[in-house]
Chains A and B, each alone.
Chain A
Amino acid sequence: MALSPTAVAARRVFAAAAHSGQEGGSVRTWKILSFVVAMPGVALCMANAYLKMHAHSHDAPEFVPYAHLQLRTKRFPWGDGNHSLFHNPHTNALPDGYESPHH
Chain B
Amino acid sequence: MTHQAHAYHMVDPSPWPLTGAVAALLMTSGLAVWFHFHSTTLMALGTVLLLLTMYQWWRDIIREGTFQGHHTPPVQKGLRYGMILFITSEVFFFLGFFWAFYHASLAPTPELGGCWPPTGITTLDPFEVPLLNTAVLLASGVTVTWAHHSIMEGERKQAIHSLTLTILLGFYFTFLQGLEYYDAPFTIADGVYGSTFFVATGFHGLHVIIGSTFLAVCLLRQIRYHFTSEHHFGFEAAAWYWHFVDVVWLFLYISIYWWGS
Q: Answer yes or no: B223 CB below 8 A from chain A CBs.
A: no
Question: Is chain B's interface secondary structure helix, strand, loop, or mixed overall?
Answer: helix
Which residues on B sit within 8 Å (CB–CB) of A49?
128-129, 131-132
Q: Bound state CA distance, A92 and B120, in angstroms?
A: 12
A84:B188 contact, CB within 8 angstroms: yes
Q: Which of A13-41 contact B (CB under 8 A)?
A: 14, 24, 26-27, 29-31, 33-34, 37-39, 41
Q: Count of A-B contacts with CB under 8 A?
A: 125
Out of A27, A42, A60, which one reaches B135, CB within 8 Å?
Answer: A42
Which residues on B sit within 8 Å (CB–CB) of A71?
189-191
A27:B150 contact, CB within 8 angstroms: yes
Q: Bound state CA distance, A41 and B139, in angstroms?
A: 8
Out of A48, A60, A67, A85, which one reaches B132, CB within 8 Å?
Answer: A48
Q: Bound state CA distance, A70 and B188, in angstroms?
A: 9
Closest to B250 in A: A1
Which residues on A sit within 8 Å (CB–CB) of B112?
68
B34:A69 contact, CB within 8 angstroms: no
Out of A7, A34, A41, A61, which one reaches B185, CB within 8 Å?
Answer: A61
B190:A42 contact, CB within 8 angstroms: no
Q: Bound state CA distance, A27 and B113, in angstroms?
A: 54
Which residues on A sit within 8 Å (CB–CB) of B128?
48-49, 52-53
Q: Answer yes or no: B66 CB below 8 A from chain A CBs.
A: no
Q: Bound state CA distance, A7 and B141, in angstroms?
A: 12
Per the CB 8 Å criterion, the residue count for chain A at the interface is 45
A38:B143 contact, CB within 8 angstroms: yes
Q: Which of A42-91 contact B (CB under 8 A)?
A: 42, 44-46, 48-49, 52-53, 60-61, 64, 66-72, 77, 84-88, 91
Query: How many B residues touch the partner, as a band?
Result: 35 or more
Q: Bound state CA distance, A33 and B144, in angstroms?
A: 11
Q: Which of B113-152 contact A (CB under 8 A)?
A: 113, 118-122, 125, 127-129, 131-132, 134-136, 138-139, 142-143, 145-146, 149-150
Q: Which residues of A contact B (CB under 8 A)?
A: 1, 3-4, 6-7, 10, 14, 24, 26-27, 29-31, 33-34, 37-39, 41-42, 44-46, 48-49, 52-53, 60-61, 64, 66-72, 77, 84-88, 91-92
Q: Which residues of B contact A (CB under 8 A)?
A: 34-35, 38, 111-113, 118-122, 125, 127-129, 131-132, 134-136, 138-139, 142-143, 145-146, 149-150, 153, 155, 158, 162, 165, 169, 181-191, 250, 254
- A34-B142, A69-B186, A71-B189 given. 20 additional CB < 8 A pairs? A1-B254, A3-B138, A4-B131, A26-B153, A27-B146, A29-B149, A30-B145, A34-B139, A38-B138, A42-B132, A45-B134, A45-B136, A48-B128, A60-B185, A68-B119, A72-B189, A84-B188, A86-B181, A88-B182, A91-B184
